[in-house]
Amino acid sequence: MHIYSVADPEFRPYGRVLEGYDTAGLLAAMEEIPLPEEGTAYQAGIGSLEACEIFSELQLRAYGGMPIELGMCWGRNTKLNCLEYHRDSEINIGWKDFILLLARQQDIEDGQLDTAKVMAFRAPAGVPVEVYATTLHYAPCHVSFEEGFRVAVALPRGTNLEKPDFAPGCEEDTWMTARNKWLLAHPDSQEAKDGSHIGLTGVNIDIKEDL
């Protein structure tokens, strides 16, 4: 699979690079959090990251003063497994370079998305990357197995917490797995086995041989 850069024009439909942020303090705080022994971990809000100066900058500048959370996804991963989306942009900042597997919400047809439409983008360490609300994404992929990945995740506060309790009024409502989180799972994924909507067709992409 070809891996583009977030600086390439191919990235424009999916997101953009944000400028004017000092990420040094955030990267130092991220490095203090040990990698899981296997797989990936995610926490929606992490106190040590939200204590960094960049937290208030992201809240004021990137989200226009809306309340946000600053958490992290970290571990080791090379597979797609699922794609999710929110009703707003997500901002990712990597401790080291990392890779995002992305697709477009507009390409979902009848609750299904062909993984042939997924593209891969490498983001440089310390650079804030905005992923648009209409961009499907999931756990980042590492560039180096030894180093794994640590990617800070900024989102409106409450995102990815407990799913709201309501009676579904349409098909899309049944894809929701957490607050402000709609998910399409590949049949091979653990999420599918746990009951998430199976919405990905085609190959469950693995970029291990492309690194």
Residue 104 CB: number of other CB atoms within 10 A? 17
Express each pLDDT in 79-125 by its tens digit.
Answer: 999 999 999 999 999 999 999 999 999 999 999 999 999 999 999 99
Q: pLDDT band at 61, cuts 50/70/90?
A: very high
Secondary structure class of 58 (helix, strand, coil)? helix
Secondary structure class of 39 (helix, strand, coil)? coil
The two three-digit tokens of residue 153, written as one number: 């995740």
What is the model's pLDDT at position 100? 98
Q: What is the largest CA-CA distance in the chain?
A: 46
**144 Cβ partners below 8 Å, 6+ apart?**
96, 211
Rounded to whole angstroms, the Cα distance separating 74 from 61 reads 25
DSSP 8-state code for residue 193: H
Express each pLDDT in 131-189 by its tens digit.
Answer: 999 999 999 999 999 999 999 999 999 999 999 999 999 999 999 999 999 999 999 99
Express each pLDDT in 15-56 by its tens digit.
Answer: 999 999 999 999 999 999 999 999 999 999 999 999 999 999
> Which residues lie across from 141 on neighbouring strands?
99
What structural domains and CATH numbers belong to the chain?
Answer: 3-210 (2.60.120)
* 144-183: b (≥16 Cβ within 10 Å) or e: eeeebbbbbbbbbbbbbeeeeeeeeeeeeeebbbbbbbbb
Question: In this structure, are residues 149 and 141 in contact, taking their beta carbons and an 8 Å threshold?
Answer: yes
What is the model's pLDDT at position 82? 98
Rounded to whole angstroms, the Cα distance separating 155 from 132 reads 11
What is the model's pLDDT at position 48? 98
What is the model's pLDDT at position 94? 98
What is the model's pLDDT at position 39? 95
Question: In this structure, are residues 134 and 104 in contact, taking their beta carbons and an 8 Å threshold?
Answer: yes
DSSP 8-state code for residue 131: E
What is the model's pLDDT at position 155? 98
Rounded to whole angstroms, the Cα distance separating 191 from 41 reads 14
pTM: 0.97
